[in-house]
Chain A
């Protein structure tokens, strides 16, 4: 199985900050990498697919980059509604696997 490792597991940031979350795959997955946002009590929501494609309706302050084994989710200017947990997921091949999550908290 492909293991997905996210870092950091949590971070504290202020509104307006630039935030970067990283995800590493245990083997090369090309660009088959997705990012999700989950708020407390809600289901995850797709933000980015195929490493850098913005899902419809997602604000442009979210962006994704990377390929093969190393990937990054960037929030260019953190907004109050962005405080949540973020997960990466490899879509290269089943079993589809997720990272452990990064909790973005208010500083």
Chain B
């Protein structure tokens, strides 16, 4: 079965850092573009970032550009999100998601999510 399992969330003070990880299994991880999507406490979904299959190209939402860095280790089948200078408004559930085919921007499957809480 295709599976994505996130980890690394938690409680952090504003200005702090966290690194999220997403372990992939059941498919050829190195062949797919990957994304991070977050869901705010009010249930709004917001795309955060994407990375292409070999990690050579990335994109970010304006609200996280310069603070967050997406990366991947294809040897370990793992996706990462390094989050620096965290703000209260970054509090959300963060989901690791896969393109159904690379570059499609159609998200399936999704991981179970990891919760990030930023306190003031």
Q: Is the CB of B45 within 8 A of A98?
A: yes
Within 8 A of B (CB), among A20-44: 32, 34, 36, 43-44
Kindly identify which residue among A34, A85, A94, A97 contacts B107, using a CB–CB cutoff of 8 Å. A34
Q: Known interface pairs A98-B44, A98-B45, A101-B43. Does A91 touch B106 (Cβ–Cβ under 8 Å)?
A: yes
A96-B105 contact in complex given A55-B100, A85-B43, C-beta closer than 8 Å? yes
Min CB distance, A34 to chain B, in Å? 5
Q: How far is the CA of A64 from the CA of B43 in the complex (A)?
A: 23
Total number of A residues with any Cβ neighbor in B under 8 Å: 21
Interface contacts beyond A43-B112, A87-B45, A97-B47: sample of 7 additional A-B pairs, CB < 8 Å, sorted by A = A46-B107, A46-B109, A55-B100, A89-B107, A91-B105, A91-B106, A96-B47
**Which of chain A's residues have a CB closer than 8 A to the CB of B108?**
45-46, 55
Q: A50 within 8 Å of B by Cβ?
A: yes
**Assembled-state Cα–Cα distance A77/B47 (Å):** 31
Q: Is A45 touching B43 in the complex (CB atoms < 8 A)?
A: no
Interface Cβ pair total, 8 Å cutoff: 54
**Which chain B residues lie closer than 8 Å to A71 at the CB level?**
none
Q: Which of A49, A87, A97 has the most C-beta atoms of chain B within 10 angstroms of its own C-beta?
A: A49
**Chain A residues whose CB sits within 8 angstroms of the CB of B44 once the complex forms:** 98, 100-101
Contacts of A94 in B (CB 8 A): 47, 50, 59, 105
Q: Is the CB of A45 within 8 A of B110?
A: yes
Interface residues of B in 56-113 (CB under 8 A from A): 59, 61-62, 95, 100, 104-113
A87 to chain B: closest residue by CB: B45
Contacts of B109 in A (CB 8 A): 43, 45-46
